[in-house]
Structure 1
Amino acid sequence: MTRLRSAAAALALSAAAVLPIAAPAHAESRAEAQVNAFFGQYRDAVLGQNPNQDPTDVREEFMTSELNTELDQWAADHDADPVFRAQNVPSGWSVAYGGSGAGHSTVILTEYWAGGGHTDVWYQVRLDTLRIDGLEDAPQ
């Protein structure tokens, strides 16, 4: 009986060494959820898949008026979409927490492009209102 228990214990230990232990899932922060919702609605509006809003409406819903003014100027200066930071539409995206401080949270949105490649765009979200008040290219 002791030998059987020892064999069972050895088997359990070897199985535990082989089986991966799942890491806890990352819970999306409120700021990440806000940027994710904004980007999905904005992308749908640009693609004409959001019959109730155009891209300007989506920006006004989620962003401060000051940021919208900055983005309009960025678009004029770069002849590209100020949210996508490109002339085309990304095929997908993901969001990640980038830190918090001074009443804001940074969310790093990674845009994925057809044919490969990606672009990171940094969003700043006010924690009290969840309004997006900053959007810029990733620091170099």
Structure 2
Amino acid sequence: MSIRMGNRKTFVAAATITAALSLAAVTPALAGTTAPHSARSAAASTVQGDPRSTTTRVANFYGAYIDSIWNNEDPAASANAKALRAFYLSAAAQNKVAAYEESEHADGILFAQNVPVKWKVTYTGSGAGHATNRVTLTWSDGADAQVSKIDVQSDLSTLKITGLKQVG
């Protein structure tokens, strides 16, 4: 009887250890921290927002817009980018962007022909019913990465983007 009980305890212990090791191996994958993405995931471990904040809205717009054009092989990407413009930009801002694109043959949201690898949005002030946020776009990785900056003006009552201006 003692041999059977010992075998049962050994089996239960082995099953428990196997389950724990399996869970430890699977948990990082479920959390999105697998090896190829771990450095990127660690850098952006917390994101929060407020739909009443122009800074959050500008960040949401640029994040979703860049994701859409980055994924240009996805058939829905172009339609999504257009829908984002229609939702986040005022009609006047959409017209200004279209005019820029017509004359410069470049994206009027990014003021470029390519897609940045990183973006950051910083609140810079408000007045006269508008808020301004500075969008910093990073175009490559590494110590010598090129950056560009755009001041984005938003209407405080509608939260729509009303103006985009490249910063020298």
Q: TM-score range by the shorter chain?
A: 0.7 to 0.9
Separation in structure 1 between the aligned mates of residue 75 and residue 131 of structure 2, nearest angstrom? 28
The equivalent position to 1:102 in structure 2, one of 103, 121, 128, is 128
How many residue pairs get aligned? The number is 113
What TM-score comes out, normalization by structure 2 length? 0.62
Partner of 2:58: 35
Partner of 1:118: 147
What runs of 5+ residues in structure 2 fail to find an aligned partner? Answer: 1-47
Partner of 1:66: 92
The equivalent position to 1:55 in structure 2, one of 76, 81, 84, is 81
Separation in structure 2 between the aligned mates of residue 50 and residue 59 of structure 1, nearest angstrom? 17
Shift of 1:46: 1.2
Instruction: Report 1 or 2 for greater relative contact order, CA contacts < 8 Å, sequence distance ≥ 6.
Output: 1
CA RMSD of aligned residues (A): 2.0
Specify which structure has the higher proportion of helix. 2
Deviation track 1:36-56 (CA, whole Å, cap 9, x = no partner) reads: 000011112212369474211
